[in-house]
Structure 1
Amino acid sequence: MSAAPASTMGRSAPAVHFVAGAEVADAHRDRMAELLFATSYLEYCSVGNKLQLPLPQLQRLQNIEPYIDHVYGMYDAERNFTGFFTAATVEEFGRIPAASYYRDEVRAMDDAYDAFVRQHTRAGDLFVASLAVEARYRGQGLLTPLLGEVERLARSKNSGRIVLTVWERSDALRLYLKKGFRICGSFGYAYELFFERLHFLEYDTFAKTAALPGD
């Protein structure tokens, strides 16, 4: 557990603390799985899944539990669950066996996405696989401590870059750019499905200049 640190990604933020994924309550892991749908087009991938599971349950099985050692829950001073992120170095993620329970037609898109990420990453990069704020806490500045904790983690691993992908029409893209991230690649494979592109963003962990505060 750690308190939110001062960060070059923002100077003023609400008081929060972070809890390692293995210590996060079961109900909050369920909520993490539900929040994943707010950040991507996972409904498309999850419908008709091979295990015939409810969609949030599938996401927990596929995108939360295998990576629980790299999941961090965010809580406010009253211990309310306010958000989470999943992040590790590319090398660390590469050591985790990945399973896909999506229907077969999603495989080609997943393979293309994986190739796109490999093209733009280095082994030591800290890759943010997911990041979300609880709906009722959005607009309260919580992206600042979330990214501050991501940056602290990157520094602890000596990762020179923080990298992630975000959809073009997402409100998050504007916020990440404001925090100092920059676009260095775009993924258009799924454009005909979703009519938008996925951007690959990078942030220099050891940059001297600070991004604008606030979100």
Structure 2
Amino acid sequence: MEIFLFLVGYFVQFGASCILLYKIWKHKSIYGLSIDTQAAYLLASVSRCVWSMETRLVETKFAYLELCLSTAVAVGLSFMCYQFLHTAPKQSTPFLRVYATCPAALVLAFFFHPGDEWFSMQIWVSYTMFQEAMGLLPQLWLMRKMHEVEPLTSHYVGLIVVARFIRMCFWGKMYFLGEHFLQLFFADVLHTLLSADYMYLWCRKLQYGGRLIYSQSAA
């Protein structure tokens, strides 16, 4: 049952990615989207392909299905970002680019991962969680610079955060079962805290409608 809770989070993320694919296909543009966020999620998906087969996820065929779908959509989004690169005039600051967040996530994973071994598969698990947490930062930064967030993009980011919240529930469930993955739980908590102000605005948009204004002046 716990495994399905873990997978539900990634199926929500898959749904969010499909929304983004539709947006790019419809508008033939990635204006307002972060290339670095998509590159970070692609790296996280590849990392999951490495360690997923060493976990209890292999106990259910849904894990294979989810991993194949998530990897395929991550590749598709990265390809479309490259294809329409000329439509994205603005990107994040250097310290939020994927070439900065990837090494940072690796360092965090090396020092904060389950188990006592310095070199183990758990490092890749931890890297995935930290890369996903840091991967959303370029998109949040870009949306602040864009002032108003386009509706489909707002739903994409909102669903990504919902997916992480579901996974937090999974870590909590595992904790009460006696399996403590506090380092991985911390990565998802970090992700949620960094996007808390955005989620407040997104929930208000869902409740009252209207535009989503996400900028320094509106914060």
What is the TM-score with the length of structure 2 in the denominator?
Answer: 0.32
Name the structure with the higher helix share: 2
What is the TM-score with the length of structure 1 in the denominator?
Answer: 0.32
Name the structure with the higher strand share: 1
